[in-house]
């Protein structure tokens, strides 16, 4: 969306007012509605589709493969594809690397280990069909839902194969739910002295800065970092911004987790 | 896969269909109303395809502008997870995919009234979430539906289907197991006519059998056209009711 | 394409108007092929094919490499069809992503490589570790339409003409014998696919083409560059003389009646027969020229005479 200078100034003023006046009437800590579907791709172990109210849409597929983890110690691959952006563009690569880093750090590898030699390797493919605001938070919700609806084949052979070398055997049809705690990423926009969660595209356009906060295991985790939401309004921010952001996330995140788990 | 199982002597195929039966065909339009000007979601057997159309709109580059007619660009995105086994490479820039894009663009260029939208571009994005044979046909159907949803003027429907030839029996609407076991013919049929906009034969077919293969293909395409038409009319009725109430 | 060739409106109108009156600019009939000239070079697998002003050169070469891991019993076969600006100003160097270039490369690939015209299993030397890699490099020397047809003839004649050096295997050790030392071995060619391209023109308006029953569309064989640039649609049929359709590509373009397309296929078959004959007789003539004394030295008796 292209805003004129006057529109931007008006928007900036209203967003930095106390309390902030957001164009869609939301409170500072309020999300836009999203629709979420899971388990619609039979050829993947887990899948989800999330649609935001502005038409942003993201599809995630989780596929698992048995690998020898003594040879291949990468247990997770995240691949991001955003329609309209080249695969080697800075934007796509940075989102991919943030997700890889967060998930590799926070996911417990133990849940994937099958035997002392073999474990599952997860391939998380993210396809963003359309995005208007920064898609990171939306992607992370989708990954959360996809991993929590992932079912993997049930192991029936023994889990100690160091003495007798054998390939793991699986039950013909029984599946086990993947038990992992998935981190969530929240994006907030900083406008004036205010912190706004889930910024829409017009709000992102006038934001002074953006922050990404990780939420894992029921508390705020690392990394916490800045992201550029636009190119021309960027300013620095103070410690009070960070404090407000963290307080806000601590209040909102449990509700989001509850909502996502309710699916 | 032994060749014997593909078509049993009783006349049943791997998935229980007879020779002249289509796969389950489900479609809906206007699925991504907020994200695109026209959209469709198509399930043909296990093929799952999302088509998004934006346009007619101002072209991003001036060089893409044609003063006499609209420029039609089609991008096919075959996702890495679309098959049972995840593919390592993204399929963009593969010659096979580039060929598909060119064939699709050339198919629709003759059928869309591009001269009504000079100096604009119509961008079609197709995302293949899952594929199970007969992809080209499904892509054609998905794009036809999305173009209609976008309200872009067309002369007629184009419906596509893949037909295989097993020994002497033509088999309609192949899945991927069948596609790998026999030679296949893909057709793109214009409306209720017997005119072919697209015809691709990928593997050896005896010249004298080609006619029977085309006949069943055209019949299958006409059936798909009917199914698409039914869905569109249902959708139109619903929209009309919502508008009047 | 780097620079599109543009045809003036009056020229375009003239050509289409002439077609409507059953005339082509070069005086050929609609179903008439330009004369195909095949020249064989001194080396094995060196072929130049010309059709009118179109000239295509093909060179076959081979080397010993490792087979693909998933296909240990098969040799390798590549066809390279890069069009350089030598053929015409509309082609760009090193950029083969133009629509026509892609279609040309894919059709040749499907017609020759994927149809199994070359017996790749015969190229295996030691399973899993050594095999022959055969390369066909197609060079487009001059463009006046019909690249696909000409290059298919060139590649197939090249493969039939080519001879790879003889080898002897003892265990893992391979000796390659030079041509002077031992008679080289021809490649195993399983069938000869021939491509025939049709170009379609619509003499009436689009509506009549799509809705009407007149089926007045004009189909011409072996279009020149000018006709190619003005055509509304194209169809490339690949057949061999066993009456097998190897490949058909009608990638969009003018919608055509199915029966008319079948008719095109039958016409193409006749052309396939004559072209196959021509290739084989040319090859025979060449091999007789190479072995002038074979007949004289032969111990075969002239029984019938």
B90 close to A (CB below 8 A): yes
- Does any domain span residue A121? yes
Note whether C202 and C253 are within 8 A (CB).
no
Mean pLDDT for the stretch of residues B156-171 = 93
Is there a domain that residue C144 lies in? yes
Query: What CATH number does residue C87 fall under?
Result: 3.30.230.70
Q: In terms of CA atoms, which chain C residue is nearest residue B103?
A: C251
Residues 6+ away with beta carbon under 8 Å from B191: B155, B156, B157, B158, B225, C210, C211
- The per-residue pLDDT for range B94-127, each reduced to its tens digit, is 889 999 999 999 999 989 999 999 999 999 999 9
CB contact under 8 A, B33 and A55: yes
Please state the pTM of the whole predicted model. Answer: 0.91
Pairing mode, if any, of strands B47-57 and C46-51? unpaired
The answer, yes or no, to whether residue B1 has pLDDT greater than 50, is: no
Q: Which residue has the higher pLDDT, C90 or B233?
A: B233
Question: Residue A57: its chain B contacts at CB < 8 A?
Answer: 32, 35
Same domain membership, residue A125 and residue A251: no
List of chain C residues with pLDDT < 50 = 1-2
Q: Tell me how far apart the alpha carbons of residues C17 and A116 are, in angstroms, rounded to a whole number.
A: 78
Q: Which chains touch B (3 or more CB pairs under 8 A)?
A: A, C
Measured CA to CA, the distance from residue C140 to residue B208 in angstroms comes to 34
Does C6 fall in a domain?
no
Task: Check whether residue A135 and residue A209 sit in a common domain.
Answer: no
- B195 vs C259: CB contact, 8 Å cut-off? no
Q: How far is B34 from chain A (nearest CA, A)?
A: 4
Which tens digit of pLDDT belongs to each residue from C33-53?
999 999 998 889 999 999 999
Co-location of A132 and A237 in the same domain: no
Domain-located, residue C87: yes
Distance separating alpha carbons of residues B221 and B194, to the nearest angstrom: 10
Decide if C257 and B194 are in contact by the 8 Å CB cutoff: yes
**Do residues A109 and A73 share a domain?**
yes
Test the B interface: residue of A53, A80, A124, A129 with most B CBs within 10 Å: A129
DSSP C210-249: HH-S----EEEES--HHHHHH-SEEEEEEEETTTEEEEEE
Closest CA–CA distance from residue B186 to any residue of chain C (Å): 10
Say yes or no for a CB contact (<8 Å) between B102 and C244.
no
Residue C241 lies in a domain: yes
Which residue in the block uniquely carries the two structure tokens 């020397």? C141
Task: Tell whether A22 is covered by a domain.
Answer: no
Tell me which chains share at least 3 CB pairs under 8 Å with chain C. Answer: B
Interface contact flag, B130 A42, Cβ < 8 Å: yes
CA distances from A191 to B210, C50, C192 (A): 67, 71, 71
Min Cα separation B234/chain A (Å): 24
Q: Which residues of C touch B102 (CB under 8 A)?
A: 99, 102-103, 251-252
CA dihedral A11, A16, A20, A23 (to 10 degrees): 10
Predicted pLDDT at C128: 85
Which one of A147, A178, A209 terminates a domain? A178
**What is residue A219's three-state secondary structure?**
strand
Alpha-carbon distance values, A208 to A26, A238, A247 (Å): 19, 12, 19
Q: Is residue A4 a part of any domain in this protein?
A: no
pLDDT score of C2? 42
Q: Which residues of B touch A135 (CB under 8 A)?
A: none
The domains of chain B are located at 17-244
Q: Which residue in chain A is spatially nearest to B80 when comparing CA positions?
A: A125
pLDDT score at C134: 93
Kindly tell me if the per-residue pLDDT of B76 is higher than 60: yes
Distance between CA atoms of C199 and C217, rounded to whole angstroms?
10
Residues of chain C contacting residue B190, judged by C-beta atoms under 8 Å apart: 210, 255
pLDDT attached to residue B4: 53
Hey, is A80 helix, strand or coil?
A: strand
Q: Which two tokens stand for residue C31?
A: 């179903």
pLDDT tens-digit map of A207-233: 999 999 999 888 888 788 888 888 888
Alpha helices in chain C, H assignment, sequence order: 9-20, 99-108, 147-161, 206-211, 225-230, 258-290, 294-297
Same domain, A141 and A197: no
Task: Say if C247 is an interface residue toward chain B (CB within 8 Å).
Answer: yes
- Which residues of B are less than 8 Å from C105 in CB distance? 95
Q: Does A76 touch chain B (CB under 8 A)?
A: no
Q: Does C268 touch chain B (CB under 8 A)?
A: no
A in contact with C (at least 3 C-beta pairs within 8 A): no
3-state secondary structure of B43: strand
Contact C161, C44 (CB under 8 A): yes
- The pLDDT > 70 percentage for chain A reads 97
Quick one: A100 and A139 in the same domain? yes
DSSP state of C91: S
Please check whether residue C190 is in contact with residue C119, taking contact to mean a CB–CB distance below 8 angstroms.
yes
Mean pLDDT to the nearest integer, B69-88 = 91
C-alpha triplet C298, C160, C105: angle, nearest 5°: 175
% of chain A surpassing 90 pLDDT: 44
Any chain A CB within 8 A of the CB of B127? Answer: yes
CB C129, CB C66: distance < 8 Å:
yes
pLDDT given for residue B135 in this prediction: 94
Do A44 and A173 share a domain, yes or no?
Answer: yes
Q: How many domains does chain C have?
A: 1
Q: Do C115 and B210 touch (CB under 8 A)?
A: no
When scoring B67, B71, B76, B99 by the number of chain C Cβ atoms within 10 A, the one with the most, hence best to mutate, is B99
Cis previous bond, C29, omega within 30 = no
- The reply to whether C241 touches chain B by the CB within 8 Å rule is no
Alpha helices by DSSP H, listed for B110-198, are 135-149, 176-181
> At B87, is the pLDDT very low, low, confident or very high (cuts 50, 70, 90)?
confident
A171-193 mean pLDDT: 88
Mind giving me the DSSP string for A172-211? Answer: EEEEEE---PPPEEEEEEEETTEEEES--HHHHHH-SEEE
Kindly state which CATH superfamily the domain B17-244 is placed in. Answer: GHMP Kinase, N-terminal domain (3.30.230.70)
Q: Is A63–B50 a contact, with Cβ atoms under 8 angstroms apart?
A: no
Say whether both A102 and A218 belong to one domain: no
Percent of chain B surpassing pLDDT 90: 71
In angstroms, what separates the C-alpha of C99 from chain B's closest C-alpha?
6
Cβ contacts of C210 on chain B, cutoff 8 Å: 111, 155-156, 190-191, 193, 195
User: Does residue C5 lie in a domain region?
Assistant: no
Token code pair at residue A115: 């035997």
Asked if the C-beta of A89 comes within 8 angstroms of chain B's C-beta atoms, the answer is: no
Mean pLDDT of chain B: 91
Residue A11 counted as domain residue = no
What local confidence, expressed as pLDDT, does residue A107 receive?
A: 82
Q: Residue C148: what pLDDT?
A: 92
Q: Which helix (DSSP H) or strand (DSSP E) does residue A121 occupy?
A: strand A118-130
- C-alpha dihedral over A227, A231, A233, A237, to 10 degrees? 20
Judged by CB atoms closer than 8 Å, whether chains meet at A43 and B52 is answered as: no
Is B91 near chain A, with CB under 8 Å?
no
What residue numbers bound the domain in which A64 lies?
32-159+168-178
Question: What phi, psi does B28 have (nearest 5°)?
Answer: -150, 155
What's the CA gap between B7 and B212, in Å, rounded? 18
> How far, in Å, CA of A252 to CA of A239, rounded?
20
Is any Cβ of chain A less than 8 angstroms from the Cβ of B223? no
In a domain, C15, yes or no: no
In which domain, by residue range, is C60 found?
A: 23-288
Tokens of A74: 């990468």
Cβ neighbours of A54 in B, within 8 Å: 34
C-beta atoms of C252 and B107 within 8 A: yes
pLDDT, residue A185, reads 93
Q: Within this chain, do residues A41 and A93 fall inside the same structural domain, yes or no?
A: yes
Give B106's contacts in chain C (Cβ within 8 Å): 233, 251-253
Residues of C in contact with B196 (CB under 8 A): 250, 255-258, 261
| CB nearest to C97's CB, from B98, B104, B218 | B98
Contact of A254 with chain B, judged by CB distance below 8 Å, is answered with: no
Q: Residues B51-70: what's their mean pLDDT?
A: 88
Sign of CA dihedral A63, A69, A75, A80: negative
User: How far apart, in whole angstroms, are the C-alpha atoms of residue B223 and residue B225?
Assistant: 5
Q: Is C96 near chain B, with CB under 8 Å?
A: no
**Among the partner residues B104, B196, B204, nearest to C250 by beta-carbon distance:** B196
Report the distance separating Cα B34 and Cα A142, nearest Å. 19
Residue of A62 and C86 predicted with greater confidence? A62
Measured in angstroms, the CA of C263 and the nearest CA of chain B are apart by 10
Query: Is it the case that residue B55 has pLDDT exceeding 90?
Result: no
Is C190 part of a structural domain of the chain?
yes
CATH number, domain of A102, equals 3.30.230.70
ipTM: 0.88
Domain total in chain A? 2
What's the rounded Cα separation, in Å, for the pair A113 and A132?
38
Question: For residue C46, is it within any domain?
Answer: yes
**Backbone dihedral angles phi then psi of residue C17, each to the nearest 5 degrees:** -60, -40
Enumerate the residues of chain C whose CB falls inside 8 A of the CB of residue B156: 210-211
Measured in degrees and rounded to the nearest 5, phi and psi for residue B40 equal: -150, 155
Q: Strand, helix or coil at C269?
A: helix
């Amino acid at each position: 969306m292209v805003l004129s200078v006057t529109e931007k100034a008006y928007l900036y003023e209203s967003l930095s007012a106390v309390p902030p006046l957001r164009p869609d009437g939301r409170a500072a800590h309020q999300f836009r509605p999203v629709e979420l579907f899971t388990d619609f791709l039979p050829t993947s172990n887990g899948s989800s589709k999330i649609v935001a109210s502005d038409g942003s849409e993201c599809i995630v597929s989780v596929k698992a493969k048995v690998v020898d983890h003594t040879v291949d110690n990468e247990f997770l691959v995240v691949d991001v594809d955003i329609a309209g952006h080249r695969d080697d563009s800075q934007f796509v690569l940075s989102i991919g690397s943030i997700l890889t880093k967060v998930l590799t750090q926070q996911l417990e590898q133990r849940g994937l280990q099958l035997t002392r030699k073999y474990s599952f390797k997860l391939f998380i493919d993210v396809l963003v069909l359309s995005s208007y605001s920064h898609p990171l938070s939306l992607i992370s919700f989708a990954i959360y839902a996809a991993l929590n609806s992932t079912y993997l084949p049930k192991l029936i052979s023994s889990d100690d194969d160091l003495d007798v070398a054998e390939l793991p055997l699986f039950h013909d049809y029984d599946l086990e739910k993947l038990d992992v705690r998935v981190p969530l990423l929240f994006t907030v926009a900083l406008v004036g002295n205010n912190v706004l969660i889930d910024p829409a595209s017009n709000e992102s356009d006038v934001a002074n800065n953006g922050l990404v906060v990780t939420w894992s295991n029921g508390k705020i985790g690392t990394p916490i970092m800045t992201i550029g939401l636009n190119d021309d309004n960027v300013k620095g921010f103070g410690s009070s911004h960070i404090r407000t952001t963290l307080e806000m996330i601590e209040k909102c995140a449990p509700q989001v987790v509850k909502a996502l788990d309710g699916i | 896969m032994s060749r014997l199982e593909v078509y049993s002597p009783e006349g049943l195929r791997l998935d229980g269909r007879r020779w002249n039966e289509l796969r389950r065909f489900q479609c809906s339009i206007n699925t991504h109303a907020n994200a695109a000007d026209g959209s469709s979601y198509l399930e043909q057997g296990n093929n799952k395809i999302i088509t998004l159309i934006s346009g007619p709109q101002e072209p991003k580059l001036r060089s893409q502008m044609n003063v006499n007619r609209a420029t039609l660009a089609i991008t096919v995105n075959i996702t890495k997870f679309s098959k049972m086994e995840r593919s390592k490479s993204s399929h963009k820039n593969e010659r096979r995919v580039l060929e598909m894009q060119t064939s699709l663009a050339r198919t629709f260029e003759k059928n869309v009234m591009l001269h009504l939208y000079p100096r604009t571009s119509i961008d079609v994005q197709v995302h293949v979430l899952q594929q199970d044979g007969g992809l080209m046909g499904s892509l054609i159907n998905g794009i036809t539906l999305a173009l209609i949803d976008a309200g872009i003027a067309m002369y007629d429907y184009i419906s596509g289907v893949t037909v295989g030839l097993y020994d002497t029996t033509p088999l309609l609407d192949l899945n991927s197991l069948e596609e790998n076991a026999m030679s296949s013919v893909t057709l793109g049929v214009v409306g209720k006519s017997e005119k072919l906009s697209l015809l691709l034969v990928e593997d050896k077919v005896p010249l004298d059998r080609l006619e029977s293969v085309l006949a069943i293909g055209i019949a299958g395409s006409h059936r798909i056209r009917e199914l698409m038409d039914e869905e569109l009319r249902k959708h139109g009725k619903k929209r009309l009711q919502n508008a009047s109430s | 394409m780097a620079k599109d060739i543009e045809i003036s409106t009056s020229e375009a109108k003239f050509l289409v108007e002439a077609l409507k009156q059953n005339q082509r600019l070069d005086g050929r009939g609609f179903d008439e092929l330009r004369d195909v000239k095949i020249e064989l070079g001194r080396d094995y697998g060196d072929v130049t094919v010309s059709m009118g002003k179109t000239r295509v050169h093909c060179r076959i070469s081979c080397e010993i490499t490792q087979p693909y891991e998933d296909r240990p019993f098969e040799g390798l076969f590549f066809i390279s069809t890069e069009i350089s600006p030598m053929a015409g100003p509309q082609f760009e160097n090193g950029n083969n992503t133009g629509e026509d270039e892609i279609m040309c490369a894919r059709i040749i690939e499907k017609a020759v490589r994927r149809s199994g015209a070359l017996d790749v299993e015969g190229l295996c030397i030691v399973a899993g570790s050594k095999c022959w890699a055969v390369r066909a490099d197609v060079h487009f020397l001059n463009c006046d339409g019909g690249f696909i047809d000409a290059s298919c003839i060139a590649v197939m004649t090249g493969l039939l003409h080519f001879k790879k050096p003889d080898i002897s295997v003892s265990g893992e050790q391979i000796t390659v014998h030079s041509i002077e030392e031992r008679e080289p071995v021809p490649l195993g060619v399983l069938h000869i696919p021939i491509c025939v391209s049709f170009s379609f023109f619509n003499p009436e308006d689009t509506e009549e083409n799509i809705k009407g029953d007149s089926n007045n569309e004009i189909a011409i064989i072996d279009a020149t560059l000018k006709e190619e640039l003005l055509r509304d649609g194209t169809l490339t049929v690949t057949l061999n003389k066993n009456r097998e359709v190897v490949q058909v590509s009608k990638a969009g373009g003018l919608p055509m009646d199915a029966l008319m397309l079948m008719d095109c296929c039958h016409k193409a078959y006749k052309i396939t027969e004559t072209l196959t004959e021509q290739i084989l007789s040319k090859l025979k003539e060449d091999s007789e020229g190479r072995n002038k004394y074979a007949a004289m030295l032969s111990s075969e008796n002239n029984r019938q005479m």
